[in-house]
A and B are shown apart, each in its own frame.
Chain A
Amino acid sequence: MIVSFPNMGYSWPAFKTLIECMGVKVVLPDPTNREAVKIGVKYSPEFVCFPFKPTLGDFVSAIKKGADTLVMAVDCGPCRFGFYHAVQERILHDMGYKDVRVIPLDQADLLEFKWVKTLFEVTPTKNLFLYTKAVKAVQYFIKKTKYIEDISTAEGLIRCYERNKGDTTRVVKKLLIKLDETNKINELRKFKSVITNEFKKIDIDRSRNPLKVALSGEIHITLEPYDNLDIRRKLGEMGVQLYQNLSVYDWVIHKFHLNFHRKWLEYLARPYMPMDIGGEAIWVIGEYIDRARSGFDGFIHAYPFTCMPEISARTILTNVLYKKYDLPIIFFSFDEHAAESGFRTRLEAFVDLIQGRREKKKHEKETKLEKKLKEPSYEIHGGSLYNSVVQFIQAG
């Protein structure tokens, strides 16, 4: 049995560990690319939300490399995501890959431990040691997702300071490969220092005063660089410091009911949206309020074209929250037709807009409203690593 799973940004080392620890061979699909998207678009329903298409393409690419069992996360929340695996399996069968199985990895509530069943299902041999293996797999998985989150936090913070364009991207690539190769618990425990050391090697220009922008939205779109036209890199190279709460770690911890940051965001969003309607809608609303209070310069909301929950969130953001909190916000809806040039123009114009706004604000005194809005905000930003990166930027 050879197992594979679709791409989602930097998260591949973590998922690879999760399955490899169970003693199964893993094949990675090619990084999402034009070919994969083309295949996905060709065989997918026309009006499905965008992540369906590249993930289907990834599956085909993995099957061509020899995979026969595919793992797809599933969440029987109210949005279309819960239907992905069923339709994708059907499509793959109709395409002629009859022996392929798509196994759902249930993540509706991780404390129900249904995911253990998935792990056992992909494992060919059944014996008593399976449980110890599963514990190890989960331990490594959570550790690695945490480090991946740290890497992307540091990346967002540092890229806008780099003197030589492309340094940060190179470091991130190197770190991910290193993380993938680290498979001993002792080394894994020390991996944080590896991350900080690598990032400290980057030549940075401390005199810059970058804009602070938060990126939020649907998880697959915001994490996968091909789907979002590499928005993180582009923003960083335009001199924008990027903050992103969203990560696989954040999501997994949330599904174990241990993510207090998300609970705080839910609390903030409650007056506008009292319940989770799927996607990231409620947390996007909460995050917008949180970021506005903590003095950010801009907010980016990215989601797949016609995504149902995010559109509800967008309606509330534009009609109510933008007028109340006055944090500039830009919406990007991505699909296979997203054009690079128009996207770039809008992004640049947005950066110019928030730059102009900041310069104007400098001369103004704080208005009463703003003071009132600056209520306590929840600063987490990735914990101790965040602090050490900030120290590095400030002091050197």
Chain B
Amino acid sequence: MVQVNEKIHVPKDGKRNSYLGIDVGSVTLKFVLMDNDQRVLSQVFLRNQGSPIDSVKLGMAEMRSQIEKNPELQEYAIRACGTTGSARYLTKAVVGGDLAKTEIIAHAVATQSLYPDVRTILEIGGQDSKIIILRDGIIVDFAMNSVCAAGTGSFLDHQATRLNIPIEDFGDYAVKSKNPASIAGRCTVFAESDMIHKQNAGYSKEDIIAGLCDSLVRNYLNNLSKGKDLEEPIVFQGGVSFNKGIIQAFKKHLDRKITVPKNGLNVLMGALGMAILSREYYINNEIDTVFRGLRMTDIDFRTRTFNCGDCPNNCSIVECSIVENNEVIARWGSRCGKWEVF
């Protein structure tokens, strides 16, 4: 468990402390509410709907209804809130977060709280994938896919639709295969054409799916694990870690034991990490949170875009403001950093 000086100041309202972590990824949205002892009180896992603001509102409404139903949860008050994921700054502005950190840090912190001696973290999410290397409790190296989607969940999702198989059953199919087809392809498009080729050549569904899993893992390792020693214990997480076929392929390629966090926590690691970091933040800083509260679902946000036009770049600037008082809460999109408000 994370070691923090236990000098938590007791707020006046007499409620117990809890911390909210929000992970807004490219495909899904994760909320984790955690108490002082790092117990998960409540969790939300949703697919993104439209803009991140709408999704966050939906998630918050879900969390709110969970809390309203459960009288036990009402004894808690949220003391700090942290955001992560690709939309971390926007989310932070919208919900009134106290801190925004990258997914890499969040994942590392959360995994360490569950497996204190972890040395390698593999994470495959919707549109990005990472490897994090830890030694003696600190991150020493990491890699993130920067150009291609061939080593991510979207790739599998896309192929599942093609094969007309629900993505949830993908793993079961893959495990059944005895002789995985070899599917080549640096990128999604080529892998797909090769897959069609194999399909036409008469391979069974199981073999093709196992081959896809294999090719995803190979791409992932080829892209990210260069020059890194993947030492045990290895923890594998992210949405794709539900897939047994991928786990099998990892075991085959790495020849090492692979652990996947249980109880659905494997997808919540980012949010959990942010909750833990928020707790640290609260304890170290003793500042009252700027969190807008669960009632933020009632606030109307408005986004508008305009072109800057001060230089030939003509960047389009996105501005997010509260409708009621026209307060600008976030603005981004310029290359030179002139307009940025976070």
Per-residue contact bits, chain A 354-390, to B (CB 8 Å; 1 contact, 0 not): 0011001000000000000000000000000000000
Cα A360 to Cα B135 in complex, Å, equals 11
Contact of A345 among B103, B136, B226, B336 (CB under 8 A): B103
Q: Which residue of B lies closest to A329 (CB)?
A: B141
How many chain A residues touch B (CB < 8 A): the figure is 34
Contact of A342 among B105, B138, B142, B144 (CB under 8 A): B144
Contact of B139 among A229, A230, A352 (CB under 8 A): A352
- Expressed in whole angstroms, the minimum distance between the Cβ of A45 and any Cβ of chain B is 19
Are B312 and A34 within 8 A (Cβ)? yes
Q: Is B311 interfacial (CB-CB < 8 Å)?
A: yes
- Expressed in whole angstroms, the minimum distance between the Cβ of A303 and any Cβ of chain B is 14
- Expressed in whole angstroms, the minimum distance between the Cβ of B162 and any Cβ of chain A is 25
* Chain B neighbourhood of A166, CB < 8 A: 337-338
Are B227 and A356 within 8 A (Cβ)? no
Q: Is A139 interfacial (CB-CB < 8 Å)?
A: no
* Chain A neighbourhood of B284, CB < 8 A: none
Are A346 and B144 within 8 A (Cβ)? yes
- Expressed in whole angstroms, the minimum distance between the Cβ of A392 and any Cβ of chain B is 24
Cα A55 to Cα B101 in complex, Å, equals 36
For chain B, what secondary structure do more than half of its interface residues adopt (helix, strand, loop), or is it mixed?
A: loop
Cα A34 to Cα B333 in complex, Å, equals 13
- Expressed in whole angstroms, the minimum distance between the Cβ of A10 and any Cβ of chain B is 14
Are A30 and B312 within 8 A (Cβ)? yes
Are A356 and B138 within 8 A (Cβ)? yes
* Chain B neighbourhood of A360, CB < 8 A: 136-138
Are A357 and B140 within 8 A (Cβ)? yes
Are A342 and B128 within 8 A (Cβ)? yes
Are B312 and A349 within 8 A (Cβ)? no
Are A352 and B105 within 8 A (Cβ)? yes
Cα A356 to Cα B136 in complex, Å, equals 11
Contact of B336 among A230, A339, A341 (CB under 8 A): A230
* Chain B neighbourhood of A350, CB < 8 A: 142
Are B104 and A349 within 8 A (Cβ)? yes
Cα A357 to Cα B140 in complex, Å, equals 8
Cα A338 to Cα B335 in complex, Å, equals 13
Are A34 and B104 within 8 A (Cβ)? no
Are B86 and A341 within 8 A (Cβ)? yes
- Expressed in whole angstroms, the minimum distance between the Cβ of B88 and any Cβ of chain A is 9
Are A352 and B335 within 8 A (Cβ)? no
* Chain B neighbourhood of A201, CB < 8 A: none
- Expressed in whole angstroms, the minimum distance between the Cβ of A352 and any Cβ of chain B is 5
Are B101 and A233 within 8 A (Cβ)? no
Per-residue contact bits, chain B 142-180, to A (CB 8 Å; 1 contact, 0 not): 101011000000000000000000000000000000000
Interface positions, chain B 304-342, Cβ under 8 Å from A, are: 311-315, 335-338
Contact of A33 among B104, B140, B146, B312 (CB under 8 A): B312
Q: Is A184 interfacial (CB-CB < 8 Å)?
A: no
Are B102 and A349 within 8 A (Cβ)? yes
Interface positions, chain B 99-140, Cβ under 8 Å from A, are: 101-105, 128, 136-140
Q: Which residue of A lies closest to B133 (CB)?
A: A353
- Expressed in whole angstroms, the minimum distance between the Cβ of A65 and any Cβ of chain B is 12
Cα A35 to Cα B227 in complex, Å, equals 37
Q: Is A132 interfacial (CB-CB < 8 Å)?
A: no
Q: Is A120 interfacial (CB-CB < 8 Å)?
A: no
* Chain A neighbourhood of B226, CB < 8 A: 318
Q: Which residue of B lies closest to A333 (CB)?
A: B146
Q: Which residue of A lies closest to B88 (CB)?
A: A345
Q: Is A31 interfacial (CB-CB < 8 Å)?
A: yes
Question: Do A319 and B311 contact each other (CB < 8 Å), given the known contacts A328-B140, A328-B141, A352-B101?
Answer: no
Are A353 and B139 within 8 A (Cβ)? yes
Are B147 and A35 within 8 A (Cβ)? no
- Expressed in whole angstroms, the minimum distance between the Cβ of A330 and any Cβ of chain B is 9
* Chain A neighbourhood of B86, CB < 8 A: 341, 345
Q: Which residue of A lies closest to B312 (CB)?
A: A33
Are A34 and B313 within 8 A (Cβ)? yes
Are A353 and B140 within 8 A (Cβ)? yes
Contact of A357 among B138, B311, B338 (CB under 8 A): B138
Contact of B337 among A30, A233, A322, A341 (CB under 8 A): A233
Are A342 and B102 within 8 A (Cβ)? no
Cα A125 to Cα B314 in complex, Å, equals 40
Cα A226 to Cα B233 in complex, Å, equals 41
User: Which 4 residue pairs of A and B lie closest in terms of their CB atoms, listed nearest first?
Assistant: A318-B227, A349-B104, A33-B312, A349-B102
Given A348-B102, A352-B139, 13 other A-B contacts at CB below 8 A? A30-B311, A33-B313, A34-B314, A340-B335, A346-B144, A349-B102, A349-B144, A350-B142, A352-B102, A356-B138, A357-B140, A360-B136, A360-B137
| Residues of A in contact with B (beta carbons under 8 Å apart) | 30-31, 33-36, 166, 169, 226, 229-230, 233, 237, 318-319, 322, 328, 337-343, 345-346, 348-350, 352-353, 356-357, 360
| Residues of B in contact with A (beta carbons under 8 Å apart) | 86, 101-105, 128, 136-142, 144, 146-147, 226-227, 311-315, 335-338
For this complex, 25 residue pairs linking A to B, each with C-beta atoms less than 8 Å apart, are A30-B312, A34-B315, A35-B312, A35-B313, A35-B314, A36-B312, A166-B338, A169-B337, A230-B337, A318-B227, A328-B141, A338-B146, A339-B146, A341-B86, A342-B128, A342-B146, A345-B102, A345-B103, A348-B102, A349-B104, A350-B142, A352-B104, A352-B139, A360-B137, A360-B138
